[in-house]
Chain A
Amino acid sequence: MKEKVKVRNLHKSFGSLDVLKGIDIDISEGEVVCVIGPSGGGKSTFLRCLNRLEDATKGEIIVDDIPITDKKTDINKIRERIGMVFQSFNLFSHLTVRKNVMLAPVELKKMSKEKASARADELLARVGLADKAESYPHQLSGGQQQRVAIARALAMDPDIMLFDEPTSALDPEMVGEVLLVMKELAKAGMTMIVVTHEMGFAKDVADRVLFIADGVICEEGTPEELFGSPRQERTKDFLNSVLT
């Protein structure tokens, strides 16, 4: 399979704090990679480097043969193809749900409002929120907001989706509806990188699981390997603490 994302010796420091200390990974097209690990271990920072919401301190990230860590690369063009979903949803609070979804295609792809609106309705139907198009974000539950956020990211037709703990801010009863949408997306062949605490989701959906701790990929493997027979002590400790 074609390699979609290549990460080489990725380092990221905030001042004197080294958060990422050399990450190397290749992610293939259509692959679903779940990233697990303790808080402060660098999972989210790793994800945020992939669309340059954080600039790498050292190392290289290549998406579809384009070195995005290169300062000369037009990062906005790359970001159009990398959707991102945040822990805190971050829906545009002054816009209706439909306008949230329409904004990027209209502004960036010069899509006509009619076409973008129809496309938004289609995406909202896909995440089960066709009836909420006219609502404002604050009128929706957390689960609904997160599903809108997914629809908004999909509106640009990305071929990679990044999820940064998409269910961590949700009430327990709303986690399922968001995971369901993500599962369908995975089934449809989307390349996905998901930072998550949902071990069940990682087991069911991931092609590969990365365990990131202390700024490095401590261990990686298929869900069976990583959850079934972890090799590293660090991984065992972590899994023991979250699975019990």
Chain B
Amino acid sequence: MNFEKVLSNATPLLLEGLKITCLISVVSIAIGIVIGLVMCLFGMSRFKALRGISAAYIWLIRGTPMLVQALVVYFGIPQMINLFWPGFTLSSITAGIITLSLNAGAYLAEIFRGGISAVPKGQVEAARSLGLPYSKTFFKIILPQAVKIAIPSMVNQFIITVKDTSILSVIGLPELANKAKVYAGSSYLYFGTYTLLAVYYLVIISILMLIAKYVEKKFNYERKS
């Protein structure tokens, strides 16, 4: 099956792709967390307009495939912007990060909301009865407990986000899957290349899961003695 040939020839190419995949994943997850937190807060706001923004955003993202979102962000929106700002272009990396963070943000918003509503009401009442204003109650009492509750679902979302980077090959983003496709197409070594590609993803996700396990342990104050 020419595994050796694939290993030696495809590796430099795949490593290049791996760098992009990791970069896009890390940046998008970080931005996604911020978007998710803001949208989650919007969703629980007293103001109807903010709740509306959050609901519309989550509805839009959850209601469309990421592939379509990527096409809209990379091809659709720049064309529209060009009407007012001729010559405007978006690099595939920027478009990829925008798509992936918007996507992760919507799901994370829902995960955070679930975590926050799972914190017992008595915790809030105890904090408020001490005189803590709502903001302090939120950041000191609710959020730490909500994050702990949400960690398993968050990790799940991170894994999905890392894997979803491969969808971004449709907008020509030179990430891991794209590089593999290019190599397989030119060498005709489909089995070897794509198997190796799968191994790459397995390794990244496994490392992510190990980190997650460590973090989860750190947060697990209920088992600490």
Contacts and interface: CB of A to CB of B under 8 A. Distances in A.
A112 interface: no
A209 to B, nearest CB: 24
Interface in B127-169: 127-133, 136, 140-141, 144-145, 148
A108 B126 CA distance: 14
A238 B197 CA distance: 75
Interface in A117-155: 136, 138-139, 149, 152-153
B125 A90 contact: yes
A208 B23 CA distance: 69
Interface in A66-81: 76-80
Contacts, number: 68
Contact of A92 (B128, B131, B136, B141): B141
Given A92-B141, A93-B221, A76 B125 contact: no
Instruction: Report whether over half of chain A's contact residues are helix, strand or loop; otherwise say mixed.
Output: mixed
A136 B224 CA distance: 8
**Size range of the chain A interface in the assembly:** 20 to 34
A139 B130 contact: no
Interface string A77-115: 111101110101111111000000001100110000000
Interface of A: 51, 53, 76-80, 82-84, 86, 88-94, 103-104, 107-108, 136, 138-139, 149, 152-153, 156
A79 B130 CA distance: 6
B222 A138 contact: yes
Contacts of A108: 130-132
Nearest to B120: A90
B130 A53 contact: no
